[in-house]
Structure 1
Amino acid sequence: MPSWKLVSGLFLAFFGSLVAVAGIGYAMVSVPSEGKAAALSENNVYYWANGDQMVATGAGQNRQNVTIDRIPEAMQWAVISAENKSFYDDSGIDPRGIARALTNMATGGDTQGGSTITQQFVKNTYLTQEQTLSRKFKEMFISIKVGTQLSKDDILQGYLNTSYYGRGAYGIQAAAQTYYGKDAVDLNASECAFLAAVLKGPTYYDPAGNQNLDSTATPQANRERSEERWGWILEQMHDDGHLSDAEYQKATAKYPMPQGRKAAKGMTGQVSYLVDTAKRYVLKNTDITEAQFDQGGYQIYTTFEKDKVDALAKAVKKVEKEYIDPKKRKQDEHVQFGAASVRPNDGAIVALYGGAGFENGHFNNNADTSGVPVGSTWKPFVLAAAMQHGTYKTDGEGVSPQSKYNGDDHLKIRNQDGSFVLNKDNTPFFQENESDQKWGYITLNKAMERSVNTPFVQLGMDVGMKHVADVAQRSGILKESFAGLNASFALGTSTPSAIRMADAYATFAASGKQADPYSVKSVKHKGSELPGFEKPRIKQAMPENVANNVTKTLENVIKNGTGTRAQELGRRAAGKTGTTDENKSAWWVGYTQQLSTSVAMFREDPKSHKLLSMNGTAGMDSIHGGDVPTQVWTEYMKAALKGKEDPGFPKAEKIGKIADGIGAPSPTPTKTETEESAPPTTAPPTQPETSAPPPPTQGETCAPFDFRCNDDDEDEEEGPGGTGPGGTGPGGTDGGSTSSPDPTNSEDPGNSRGNDNGGNFLGGPGG
């Protein structure tokens, strides 16, 4: 056993070494200042795919320091009451909070620990805010030194001048101008409490919303969070004696709603959405915080090609000028477009169209937003699932697209056990087409060309909606955008973004090879390249021949079906239209081997953010994916592919077995492709279930304004020439929007009706 002298000596030596280390650490660290932090602030610089500079933006553009006498006392007490009540009495550090943070970091737990205002000021002045033991020790030493060398007013001034308030605003002066258009000194107590609430986290407490950073940060949710914390802070100020009863009553009388966002310098036109998309990609692929990123010093090299971005914007503007006139027609108000263009076999986003631009008050990126159902553009995933997995009748062997299904309107849908799908009230579920044309039993190829709903709903049930969902997800659609896996799932009740739809169709273009979409090739910080920006891995999402057969069918959509307007491209292409119930959206997604591009068109109430009907828009009875969206796509693709070769598509080999739907005439005659493309002849009789009750109305099955529940399937059966601006052909429509009354209930079949007389439309975070 060691003697007490040895133990005592070792303890004293250990304690002495700790004191020495602490002394050295204390002596070596310097006291920060907000002036030094501002001087270190830099812009972020974004570059086009070819290396040319796109725009510079960041902390260097929206940062000002003010002295404590220019900061209202209400602002000072708001942050003290909310964050550090003992500020004027403590030493500048929270020992228990630091110990908790160090313990958590050592054990792999939550890295966040309680911090005083002094510690937060110290942290704000460092551009790197990594959660490490060494940084925590440095923060502790600096905080102790700051507490002994700076007055409390200097510390509080420094904290308020270096904090991030969101919207690119650093410091209380920039925040006051950004949110209220006034100097900090003129803020009232209610506004001060709001800005103190925003410090909790601008992404989730700015009532303007930040859905581009987090889909849960909606304007409504953020307003509720902000108002709750604002009220709590004022209550704390009152309880702490910093607001009199009269001042408290006045401050809480009305929530001080800030002004809307304004475009930062250089953030105009499509550049605003390109920067938004690239920024979110950086934050998603690193542990950099938004506040840290906005402090600047990053060089972001994007995948965006300027000529293609300009061509896409030009195509939208040309079509808008030709068809949309809000001064002439009320139905033309609030019309929006969203579009994205992705390189197959790579995933690079080369162009996107996000809206009218930040400078026009449109901050939501339409190319990468959710909430707009995609309609019949979903049907190719149903066909791909059938060709890959087969149905319950084929023992795992794929289904041939020459298989016949009943295409008549108002059709009962069967479960795999032969029973009929029922509504919640146990009445029979009927699937609707847009028109009541008697198609009889038609091949899946023909049903795709004409976008007839009933065959694909029954096919989806026969395949199994889980297989359909799996194929869509493997193709590039995010699972969180899926609607409920009920009968209507086959008809596009899901709400992926335009970027994700373009990427998923790129999987067909690349013979089944899928790569996640990406917008950033590399990022440098102060000259050093950051990890995490390698190209996404290419995966074989589906068998080559499955993808090639889907492409062959979608080529016929352009040749003979609802997408004939795309023939103006003058080269081989494939695509699909999609339109939703009540004409609330219209899509066209099409591709060549070089580019896959999706275009969406919709109307949205700017206050409620609910979709509005486009019936009457552009002077047409209804808008379809095959007319206006397809025209935008064609104009863009002409420019984007000008001078490029036309490689066509790989040959599609014969696939699957004939597996007709229940009731199809037997034997099934073999038809040539020429015969298959001919107009339908007299159809066999439909199923004898025609005396059942009418289909449920939206009020019976759908919650109002539930986009995932919208009657949103489509039966696009438009002949050459189309409907609307393309003329009126012999075909039908892209009808069949679907409605799923309970998207979480796979047993609820939903409700679907047709509404797409020859065209289709868009969708929504992907990226």
Structure 2
Amino acid sequence: RPAKKRFIDYPRFGKDGWRRWMPSWRQVTAVFIGFVGSIVGLIGIAYAMVGVPNVNLAAKAQNNVYLWSNGDQMIATGGEVNRQIIGIDDIPQAMQDAVISGENKTFETDRGVDPMGIARALFNMAKGGETQGGSTITQQYVKNTRLNQQQTFTRKFKELFISIKVGATMKKSEIMAGYLNTSYFGRGAYGIQAAARTYYGIDADKLNPSQCAFLAALLKGPTYYDPAGATNIDPNATAASNKVNSEIRWKAILDAEVTLKRLSPTDRAKYTKYPMPLPIKTNTQMAGQIGYMVTTVNHYLLNNKILTQTQLEQGGYSIKTTFQKPKVEALEAAVQKVQKANIKPGGTHKNDDGEDADKFVQFGGASLNPTDGAIEAIYGGADATKHFTNNADETGAQVGSTFKPFVLAAAMTHGARNPDDPPVQGDDERTPVSPDSWFSGKNNQLIKDYTGKPWIGYDKNNKPFQWRQPNDDGDNYPKVTLRTALDKSLNSPYVQLGQDVGTDLVSKAALAAGLVADSNNGLLDYKNSVTYSIGTSSPSAIRMADAYATFDNHGVQNEPYSVTSVLHEGDTFWKHHSTPKVAFSTEVSDTITGMLADVIKKGTGETAQLPGGRVAAGKTGTTDDNKSAWFDGYTPQLSTSIVMFRRDDATHTEKAGKAINNPFLSMYGTAGQQTIHGNSYPAQIWKDYMSAALDGAPKTPFQQPTGSVGKVIWGNVPSPTPTPTATTPTPSTTPPTTPPTTPPTTPPTTPPTSPTPSDTPTTPCFPWQNCNNPTTPPPSSTPTGTPTGSPTSGPPGRGPNKPGGGL
């Protein structure tokens, strides 16, 4: 007797082989109906469980609370509830038309959701991108009412169900009113009534169509469409670029209204002038250094994608920073002390052109912990409510000779190139360079390429020229070690060393130390500038402090950071974790630290010596035409960078939405000094700040190198016979007491139009054999001329238009 079939006949009864495991059409249909039914049931349950938004509870402006490193409150921002709910009858039809034309042309006929927009958002989110764009007004209204802006699939699906329910149960007029009452328009204004009062000083029902189009444009993102700018959130959101963005969108919305027959061509013709809103009100809470610190923190949160722009604007976060209040106050006090005593705008000090040389003088500074990169203090300018550029985080001022340690790092890590080999060489084909290597320190030294032939450049007319590198103040040392050249901040040895090593590797060393290459700071310009090695690039003070901290931290680099943790509604939202990277060997870094310590002990940095015998390492820097002066230095506990320059904020703007890097102004005559050097006011500020910041801290010595680095080479001076070893004593750095027998050559102010004749050898010539130098210096380490100023005699003089990079 055959067996009875089971209720669920699987595997199938009475079938053999593979047919036993193949479901029947009846079974497939049953499973499909069951699956669809389950999905429909789940959708129904989800639809029933979600509620319609309550506009009165939505879009509350919440504080972002910024905390000092010790947990004390620094400032609470964005907490004002600048919102007043108004009915649809008080919202002008022109505002509704502008929003529909700009945001959702099918608003009056759609069902509240845009399936294609949702699909695009989910696809972008799966790729790790933004989910913005493609939403209907209904979906945007729902999103406005949900404070949790985390980009997740769960949130997107829940918003979808809420949007469907809103579209099915609410009138279009209610949705429009809800959307305009909960939208964020920037400047702390939530809702159309607050926006009308903030931007035009009138109630919403008094807005004209042109003003409505402007406010509708802000819904795209006030950070980038408010003509006042929002550089505190994004440094690219400048006033000029935002105005261009805003005006383009304002016109597009008005034109779209005409196309959709919501505005007549006659009425459109009335509105041709851009409706510039009221200027933004100054937030006195941001005065002094507070605004600069908040800006630094916001940039860090956004650039590292810890928070989105929307999250930051909506608020509700407790942000613990790395800033230490006593150190911030000490840095500000050190700058103000120098300013008050020496900088006197108003005509007291004039330059040779009769201009006020103290006008537009600015300072910037940053100080961080070398062991992990925590930024403990910054000086961004005199007042964040009056001077809007954060000088601690701004690029533009060339760093001069403070860049030389990166040349040393590259030379000791990779070595000088073999002149017989191609330009690109591996480290095993090179000669590692010892700091006791010898180079010509002559003023106006002819610079050669790594093969020993004169370096050839081309001017703007494509005519070739050779380069003779001057030293600051015309210092003249026919033969000098790299140690002594760093002490005295001689330029010619380091320009030549950069050519021997390769400026590409110098750039690589600077980036490894912590500098960042972008379009503004010239760090990638190593191919085009023979003087690249003496600081033609222009990193920020924060980045210079971090790069020097890498030497301080024995070659281990940490990214500078300003936030330790972020909390949201009491829960940890994000926490900082350092990711240290090895940039240089311990031997290389500690050797450079010893050399920089000598700069402060007996070189151009003597004015920065700290009291009580506390060890310090640092370097001075001055640039072409005396347009900036730096002092960068560190102790085992703290790395600090100070910059001084002149620039008119009123002209440091943008044109047609593009940044203008207007030239820095010369500091000849500033503070009554002929020339401002890094060893003057920047070093004084550095010393005063570091003395206060480290008061009571242990006097920890620097770690000594565990071994020697590199070999002694004779860079572009004759090698004695036999060649000395690395134990050759360093020549005396004491200036001679006899005057030079011949005056130094005056450096050219413009490059020659043709190459200087030189003899070309018929056999390979190592650079240190000096085969092609037209003027072979005598084998003596004694300089032929006395420097025009000593490090302790105040800022020595220098004439205009001389290439810098010296003190």
User: Taking structure 1 as the reference length, what is the TM-score of the superposition?
Assistant: 0.85
Q: What is the aligned counterpart of 1:621 among 674, 699, 703?
A: 674
> 1:663 corresponds to which letter in structure 2?
V
| Secondary structure class of the residue paired with 1:612 | coil
> In 2, are the aligned partners of 1:409 and 1:435 still within 8 Å (CA)?
no
| Secondary structure class of the residue paired with 1:119 | helix
**Corresponding residue number in structure 2 for 1:712:** none
> In 2, are the aligned partners of 1:234 and 1:252 still within 8 Å (CA)?
no
User: In the superposition, relative to structure 1, how do residues 589 and 258 fare at CA in structure 2: closer, same or farther (>3 Å)?
Assistant: farther
| Secondary structure class of the residue paired with 1:128 | coil
Q: Give yes or no for the alignment of 1:464 onto 2:535.
A: no
Q: What is the aligned counterpart of 1:152 among 172, 183, 192?
A: 172
> 2:632 corresponds to which letter in structure 1?
V
Deviation, structure 1 residue 36: 0.9
> 1:614 corresponds to which letter in structure 2?
M
User: In the superposition, relative to structure 1, how do residues 469 and 119 fare at CA in structure 2: closer, same or farther (>3 Å)?
Assistant: same
> In 2, are the aligned partners of 1:341 and 1:598 still within 8 Å (CA)?
yes
d(CA) in 2 for partners of 1:649, 1:231: 63
> In 2, are the aligned partners of 1:57 and 1:265 still within 8 Å (CA)?
no
Deviation, structure 1 residue 98: 2.3
**Corresponding residue number in structure 2 for 1:528:** 571
Q: What is the aligned counterpart of 1:332 among 333, 358, 364?
A: 358
User: How is 1:290-439 mapped onto 2 (pairs within 5 angstroms)?
Assistant: 290-328=309-347, 330-360=356-386, 362-393=387-418, 395-424=429-458, 425-439=463-477
> 1:598 corresponds to which letter in structure 2?
S
User: In the superposition, relative to structure 1, how do residues 114 and 585 fare at CA in structure 2: closer, same or farther (>3 Å)?
Assistant: same
> 1:291 corresponds to which letter in structure 2?
T
> 1:666 corresponds to which letter in structure 2?
P
**Corresponding residue number in structure 2 for 1:47:** 67
Deviation, structure 1 residue 437: 3.4
Deviation, structure 1 residue 286: 4.0
| Aligned CA-pair RMSD | 3.3
d(CA) in 1 for partners of 2:189, 2:491: 50
d(CA) in 1 for partners of 2:733, 2:146: 68
**Corresponding residue number in structure 2 for 1:709:** none
> In 2, are the aligned partners of 1:601 and 1:629 still within 8 Å (CA)?
yes
**Corresponding residue number in structure 1 for 2:665:** 612
Cα deviation digits, residues 698-735 of structure 1 (max 9, x gap):
9xxxxxxxxxxxxxxxxx985232434xxx5xxx77x9
**Corresponding residue number in structure 1 for 2:716:** 662
User: In the superposition, relative to structure 1, how do residues 326 and 80 fare at CA in structure 2: closer, same or farther (>3 Å)?
Assistant: farther
User: In the superposition, relative to structure 1, how do residues 426 and 232 fare at CA in structure 2: closer, same or farther (>3 Å)?
Assistant: same
User: In the superposition, relative to structure 1, how do residues 454 and 182 fare at CA in structure 2: closer, same or farther (>3 Å)?
Assistant: farther
> In 2, are the aligned partners of 1:584 and 1:603 still within 8 Å (CA)?
yes
| Secondary structure class of the residue paired with 1:320 | helix
d(CA) in 2 for partners of 1:194, 1:44: 28
> In 2, are the aligned partners of 1:344 and 1:510 still within 8 Å (CA)?
yes
d(CA) in 2 for partners of 1:603, 1:241: 54
**Corresponding residue number in structure 2 for 1:82:** 102
Deviation, structure 1 residue 261: 4.3
Cα deviation digits, residues 538-563 of structure 1 (max 9, x gap):
33321222112212221222233322
Question: Which stretch of the first structure deviates more once superposed, 622-631 or 633-642?
Answer: 622-631
Cα deviation digits, residues 629-652 of structure 1 (max 9, x gap):
111111111110112222131224
Cα deviation digits, residues 649-682 of structure 1 (max 9, x gap):
1224543221122234535779987853211588
User: How is 1:112-131 mapped onto 2 (pairs within 5 angstroms)?
Assistant: 112=132, 114-131=134-151
> In 2, are the aligned partners of 1:440 and 1:683 still within 8 Å (CA)?
no
User: In the superposition, relative to structure 1, how do residues 452 and 166 fare at CA in structure 2: closer, same or farther (>3 Å)?
Assistant: farther
Deviation, structure 1 residue 309: 0.8
**Corresponding residue number in structure 2 for 1:645:** 698
Question: Which stretch of the first structure deviates more once superposed, 64-73 or 419-428?
Answer: 64-73
> In 2, are the aligned partners of 1:234 and 1:248 still within 8 Å (CA)?
yes
> In 2, are the aligned partners of 1:439 and 1:680 still within 8 Å (CA)?
no
User: In the superposition, relative to structure 1, how do residues 366 and 69 fare at CA in structure 2: closer, same or farther (>3 Å)?
Assistant: farther
d(CA) in 2 for partners of 1:187, 1:49: 46
| Secondary structure class of the residue paired with 1:232 | helix
Q: Give yes or no for the alignment of 1:507 onto 2:550.
A: yes
| Secondary structure class of the residue paired with 1:517 | coil
User: In the superposition, relative to structure 1, how do residues 18 and 111 fare at CA in structure 2: closer, same or farther (>3 Å)?
Assistant: same
Q: Give 5+ residue unaligned stretches, structure 2.
A: 1-21, 349-355, 419-427, 653-661, 754-786
**Corresponding residue number in structure 1 for 2:685:** 632
> 1:437 corresponds to which letter in structure 2?
D
Q: Give yes or no for the alignment of 1:574 onto 2:612.
A: no
Higher helix share: 1
User: In the superposition, relative to structure 1, how do residues 445 and 61 fare at CA in structure 2: closer, same or farther (>3 Å)?
Assistant: farther
Deviation, structure 1 residue 288: 2.6
Deviation, structure 1 residue 338: 1.2
Q: Give yes or no for the alignment of 1:543 onto 2:585.
A: yes
Deviation, structure 1 residue 599: 0.8
Question: Which stretch of the first structure deviates more once superposed, 550-559 or 181-190?
Answer: 181-190
> In 1, are the aligned partners of 2:567 and 2:574 still within 8 Å (CA)?
no
> In 1, are the aligned partners of 2:69 and 2:323 still within 8 Å (CA)?
yes
> In 1, are the aligned partners of 2:621 and 2:805 still within 8 Å (CA)?
no
Q: Give 5+ residue unaligned stretches, structure 1.
A: 699-715, 738-751, 759-767
> 1:29 corresponds to which letter in structure 2?
V
d(CA) in 1 for partners of 2:340, 2:635: 27
> In 1, are the aligned partners of 2:364 and 2:642 still within 8 Å (CA)?
yes
Aligned identity (percent) is 51
Deviation, structure 1 residue 119: 0.4
| Secondary structure class of the residue paired with 1:16 | helix
Cα deviation digits, residues 108-131 of structure 1 (max 9, x gap):
776445110110111111112233
| Secondary structure class of the residue paired with 1:655 | coil
Q: Give yes or no for the alignment of 1:22 onto 2:65.
A: no
| Secondary structure class of the residue paired with 2:697 | coil
> 1:679 corresponds to which letter in structure 2?
P
> 1:413 corresponds to which letter in structure 2?
I
d(CA) in 2 for partners of 1:443, 1:187: 73
User: In the superposition, relative to structure 1, how do residues 693 and 629 fare at CA in structure 2: closer, same or farther (>3 Å)?
Assistant: closer
Cα deviation digits, residues 287-339 of structure 1 (max 9, x gap):
53121122222111111111111111111112111122223453323322211
User: In the superposition, relative to structure 1, how do residues 107 and 606 fare at CA in structure 2: closer, same or farther (>3 Å)?
Assistant: closer
| Secondary structure class of the residue paired with 1:368 | coil
User: In the superposition, relative to structure 1, how do residues 539 and 136 fare at CA in structure 2: closer, same or farther (>3 Å)?
Assistant: closer
Q: What is the aligned counterpart of 2:803 among 736, 753, 764?
A: 753
d(CA) in 2 for partners of 1:67, 1:139: 24
User: In the superposition, relative to structure 1, how do residues 177 and 395 fare at CA in structure 2: closer, same or farther (>3 Å)?
Assistant: farther
> 1:204 corresponds to which letter in structure 2?
Y
Deviation, structure 1 residue 483: 3.7
Q: What is the aligned counterpart of 1:679 among 735, 752, 755?
A: 735
User: In the superposition, relative to structure 1, how do residues 641 and 649 fare at CA in structure 2: closer, same or farther (>3 Å)?
Assistant: same
**Corresponding residue number in structure 1 for 2:769:** none
User: In the superposition, relative to structure 1, how do residues 271 and 104 fare at CA in structure 2: closer, same or farther (>3 Å)?
Assistant: closer
